Amino acid sequence: MDGAGEDRPANAARHPEPRIEWFNVPLMRDLEIVERPAQQTTLTKRYTQEAREIIRENKDRPFFLYLAYAFPHIPLFASEDFLGKSRRGLYGDVVEELDWSVGQLLDTLSEEGLADNTLVFFTSDNGPWTVMEEMGGSAGLLRGGKGSTWEGGMRVPGIAWWPGTIPGGEVRRDLACTMDLYTTAISLAGGSVPEDREVDGIDMTPMLKGEGPGNRGEYYYYRGTQLYAARIGPHKAHFVERDGYGRSEPAVFDPPEVYHLGVDPGEQYALEEPPTEVMAELEERVEKHRSSIAPVESQLEKKIEE
């Protein structure tokens, strides 16, 4: 019994005009269900309001706020104030409400006198879910989407705000990833990362402040536990490729397909003859990376067993 109703369409057909009763999702506070089905049209605003309260309640001490809006993951819902406001349909309306929400949070930080000692970092977890068509977003010129290790699946916005410390209106072309947020946050808080394990994050602080280039010279693209691709500087090598979720068999490339992401960010034109020094460095770094991997206990399975 999931309360979805008999008229619920299957899969993707639900999403152009979603109804709350088709998605019997719970809204939880800690481990307690407080609402079911969640009234999703007001979810963005309620998250924003809750975040503003957390900022105000903690303004006199250091705090770390991780705010993960549910949207623009499908099913998409916007409040009445934003429905029909954009030219990009429901997806655009949802994004406008998120944009408004971020503005509310920045205003709150400024009102509380916290703007000059708070780093705000805005990012996303993956590219568009392309099988959901225009309800799933767009990767622009980038190839592929969510579930693939093409840039369209992996590259996300990264916007940093810290008036007086991070210069405004500038674009850094350096490589960074969400794993770097952990290391950066610890660095800014004056701590140090654990030394009893391999930590993949790199401190972004000098790059964010404009004091120097980013220190991430490489990036490894995984699907699950399998290495699909590796990037060294502007060169990206694909060992395995899948366009996204749903395709059953991956394509394997040996030798790898190599693209120059500076000249060809859309990964349209594999290099016919990748430079030998690039291939040598790639092999060396990938081997080093692989040897640094140690399987760890699944934190999710551990939680479920508790």
| In contact, 147 and 185? CB cutoff 8 Å | no
User: 138-167 as b/e, with b when 16 or more CB fall inside 10 Å?
Assistant: ebeebbbbbbbbbbbbbbeebebbbeebbe
**CA dihedral (267, 269, 273, 275) positive or negative:** negative
How far apart are alpha carbons 131 and 12 in whole angstroms? 8
- Per CB under 8 A, the list member of 146, 260, 274, 286 interacting with a copy of itself is 260
Please tell me whether residue 264 binds a copy of itself under the rule CB under 8 A. yes
Q: Interacting stretch for a copy of itself, rule CB under 8 A, among 7-15, 74-82, 185-193, 266-274?
A: 266-274
How far apart are alpha carbons 22 and 3 in whole angstroms? 7
Q: How far is the CB of 230 from a copy of itself (least distance, A)?
A: 19
Closest CB to a copy of itself among 91 and 228? 91
Closest CB to a copy of itself among 147 and 152? 152
Report the run of H or E that residue 260 belongs to, with start and end. Answer: strand 251-260
Please tell me whether residue 214 binds a copy of itself under the rule CB under 8 A. no
Please tell me whether residue 176 binds a copy of itself under the rule CB under 8 A. no
Q: Which two tokens stand for residue 71?
A: 């949207």
How far apart are alpha carbons 284 and 107 in whole angstroms? 48
What track of x and - describes contact with a copy of itself for positions 114 through 133 (by CB under 8 A)? -------------------x
Q: How far is the CB of 76 from a copy of itself (least distance, A)?
A: 12
In the window 218-257, what residues touch a copy of itself (CB under 8 A)?
234
Closest CB to a copy of itself among 175 and 208? 175
| In contact, 42 and 79? CB cutoff 8 Å | yes
Closest CB to a copy of itself among 87 and 303? 87
* Cα separation of the two ends of the chain: 26
What count of other Cβ atoms lies within 10 Å of the Cβ of residue 230?
A: 23
- Per CB under 8 A, the list member of 96, 134, 174, 200 interacting with a copy of itself is 134
| In contact, 86 and 95? CB cutoff 8 Å | yes
Closest CB to a copy of itself among 148 and 205? 148
How far apart are alpha carbons 51 and 63 in whole angstroms? 12
Say whether 14 sits in a helix, a strand or coil: helix
Please tell me whether residue 197 binds a copy of itself under the rule CB under 8 A. no
Closest CB to a copy of itself among 144 and 265? 265
Please tell me whether residue 99 binds a copy of itself under the rule CB under 8 A. no
Closest CB to a copy of itself among 264 and 281? 264
In the window 30-89, what residues touch a copy of itself (CB under 8 A)?
87-89
Q: How far is the CB of 16 from a copy of itself (least distance, A)?
A: 10
Residues that bind a copy of itself (CB under 8 A): 87-89, 91-92, 133-134, 138-141, 173, 234, 260, 262-266, 268-269
